[in-house]
Amino acid sequence: MAVCAFLSKRFPLVRGRFCSKAPGLARTVVRKLWCASSRSQLRGVEGNRGLTGKVDRFGGVTVDLTDTGLPEDISEGAFSGLLRESLVRWRAEGKVAVWLRVPISLSRCAAAASTHGFTFHHAKHDRAVLVLWLGEGESQLPGFATHQVGVAGAVVDESNGKVLVVQDRNKTTNAWKFPGGLSDPGENIGATAVREVFEETGVRSEFRSLLSVRQQHNHPGAFGMSDMYMICRLRPLTYDINFCTRECLRCEWLDLAELTRTSDTTPITARIARLLLHGLERGFGEIDLSMEEIPAIYSGRFYQLYHRQLPSLVTHI
């Protein structure tokens, strides 16, 4: 009945001829019409030359379906045929992998790709990325990013040995800690620390150094993935507190020595407070991991390298 309803709607003249007497023939007609439609769609995509994409330096090819000129109503069957021809070509060319970016509007293409061995790599906003390893042996492709990066800022007033601390409003224990939060994509950790400190406390500051890195796996706040938590030393540019009451319960300039002794803090905060006291007494050069921007060899971009300062007798190479 469904076949007859389809024919009735699309091709009313065939209803009496096929539906009443030959439902089997009607289904055959529909299959032929569907196949003809798929072939027509294939011919309309770049002359049926297959999919095209960008080749990376590792021998993989990335195909973004939003850039291929596919018809918006392309069927699974039509796309599957197009992908099959493309895979034959890529294998002949020695490509080692195919990355397929599928917008949510063409999600049916993901189902078609799965029949050729593609699996999900990751999804983001309005698109998913599927991947297929074509090289020899087990897949050598990297997994999707598995970490989140949190950054806190220890704003130290060197004139009086005090540091800016907050108590989070939504924590079960009201412990003193350094203000901070998650780093935004593409944001340097120093910029994150400065931004988060200002958003939570109203105090403006500038980045001076990286102090510590904590690594924690299976983090409940990171969907069970890994968490990197970094604490930076900042220098205050303003001192008046105007803290965010939505995020913070309290905010104060607290003496570093007191912060090392109080039980109303976290273990990592107490440890960094002792480190900062050592820096105040012996010089921050003893504890700082300073940052230097260095050009990357392969990409031409710049990266940030954090390390202890070299002794003055050692010159830069």
**Would you place residue 33 in the very low, low, confident or very high pLDDT band (cuts 50, 70, 90)?**
very low
Lowest mean pLDDT among 59-63, 171-175, 265-269: 171-175
**Would you place residue 130 in the very low, low, confident or very high pLDDT band (cuts 50, 70, 90)?**
very high
Q: Residue 230 and residue 248: Cα distance in Å, rounded?
A: 20
Q: Residue 14 and residue 208: Cα distance in Å, rounded?
A: 79
Q: Residue 109 and residue 52: Cα distance in Å, rounded?
A: 15
The fraction of the chain above a pLDDT of 90, given in percent, is 66
- As given in the structure block, the two tokens for residue 29 are 């007609």
**What average pLDDT does the structure give for the chain?**
85
Residue 199 bears catalytic tag: yes
Lowest mean pLDDT among 17-21, 74-78, 110-114, 141-145: 17-21
Q: Count the Cβ atoms, other than its own, within 10 Å of residue 174.
A: 11
Scan for tokens 């803290």, then name that residue. Answer: 243
User: What is residue 23's predicted lDDT score, i.e. its pLDDT?
Assistant: 54
Which 8-state DSSP code applies to residue 173? S
All residues at 6 or more sequence positions from 83 whose CB lies less than 8 Å from its CB, including other chains: 51, 112, 113, 116
Q: Residue 229 and residue 154: Cα distance in Å, rounded?
A: 13
Using CA atoms, how far residue 257 sits from 153, 176, 228, in Å, is 18, 13, 27
Considering only residues 121 and 220, tell me which one the structure prediction assigns the higher pLDDT.
Answer: 121
What's at 169, amino acid-wise?
Answer: R
Identify the CA nearest to 105 among candidates 136, 86, 127.
Answer: 127
Could you give the angle at the alpha carbon of 100 between the alpha carbons of 96 and 104, nearest 5°?
Answer: 170
Q: Residue 195 and residue 151: Cα distance in Å, rounded?
A: 10
- As given in the structure block, the two tokens for residue 81 are 């045929």
User: What is residue 49's predicted lDDT score, i.e. its pLDDT?
Assistant: 64
State the pairing for strand pair 162-168/205-216: unpaired
Structure confidence by residue, pLDDT tens digits, 61-98? 999 999 988 998 999 999 999 999 999 999 999 999 99
The active-site residue, picked from 46, 76, 85, 199, is: 199
45 has pLDDT over 50:
no
Domains defined along the chain, listed by start? 1-27 (no CATH), 49-133 (3.40.630.30), 147-293 (3.90.79.10)
Q: Residue 228 and residue 149: Cα distance in Å, rounded?
A: 5
197 has pLDDT over 80:
yes
All residues at 6 or more sequence positions from 247 whose CB lies less than 8 Å from its CB, including other chains: 168, 169, 170, 199, 200
Instruction: Yes or no: say if 253 and 212 are a contact pair by the CB < 8 Å rule.
Output: no
Q: Residue 117 and residue 94: Cα distance in Å, rounded?
A: 17
Is residue 135 within a helix (H) or strand (E), and if so which, with residue range?
none
Using CA atoms, how far residue 216 sits from 115, 146, 230, 238, in Å, is 38, 12, 11, 33
Q: According to the per-residue pLDDT averaged within each range, which of 33-47, 123-137, 191-205 is highest?
A: 191-205
Lowest mean pLDDT among 74-88, 213-227, 250-264: 213-227
